[in-house]
Amino acid sequence: MTKIRRYINDEYIYFLTHVTYKRRHILVKHFDLLMESLITYQKKEKYELMSWVVLPDHMHLLIKLCDSRLPELMRKIKLSFSMKLRKRLQQRAGRIWQYRYWDHVIRDQKDLNTHIDYIHYNPVKHALARNPFNWKYSSIAEYKDVYSNDWGVKEVVIDRGNFGE
């Protein structure tokens, strides 16, 4: 397996995507365990969880490290959730997460704003909600002063047979 180079710096903000093994729909169903793991390590490892969204088979996080190393932090969080989930499901073994994860270092304020919007719009993008404020597995409520009430609301498209004309 190729070793991935990650650019780690306490001053960086990271956009992260983590996907479940075989895209199993387990994260929303066991949201409480996932948040418990994120909060536990937020206190222990001192990172700021700036925005987040959890979907059935993947999650996006926007974090700022304080004095943690990103790969170690992500390993601890995912391992914590995996152990809690196996205990709940009474399983002794089995993969929970895909190997690796995707990360992006935020470059500037525009990039930060774009990724916060992407995170909060994700449930609409995946047709899990028509209004991002209706998706409770997201940090959008913490941004209620930033977004209008109708931000990201997807209109229902009616097929009248004239698409592409």
Q: Could you list the beta-strand ranges (E) of the chain.
A: 13-19, 47-54, 58-65, 102-105
Please give the radius of gyration of the chain, using alpha carbons only, rounded to the nearest integer: 17
Res 155: pLDDT:
58
One CATH from 3.30.70.1290, 2.60.120.260, 3.90.226.10, 2.40.50.100 for 13-143? 3.30.70.1290
Give pLDDT tens digits for 57-79. Answer: 999 999 998 877 899 999 999 99
pLDDT greater at residue 33 or residue 65: 33
Domain extents for the chain?
Answer: 13-143
Cα 101 to Cα 65: distance, rounded to the nearest angstrom: 17
Strands lying side by side in the sheet with 47-54 = 47-54, 58-65, 13-19, 102-105
CB 48 within 8 A of CB 3: no
If you average pLDDT over residues 96-103, what whole number do you get?
94
Cα 37 to Cα 84: distance, rounded to the nearest angstrom: 9
Cα 165 to Cα 2: distance, rounded to the nearest angstrom: 47
Check whether 21 has a pLDDT greater than 70: yes
Instruction: Give the pLDDT band (50/70/90) at residue 4.
Output: very low
Q: What is the pTM of this model?
A: 0.85
Amino acid at 38: L
Residue whose tokens read 């956009």: 15
If you average pLDDT over residues 73-95, what whole number do you get?
95
Crossing angle of the two packed helices 31-45 and 70-89, in degrees rounded to 10: 140
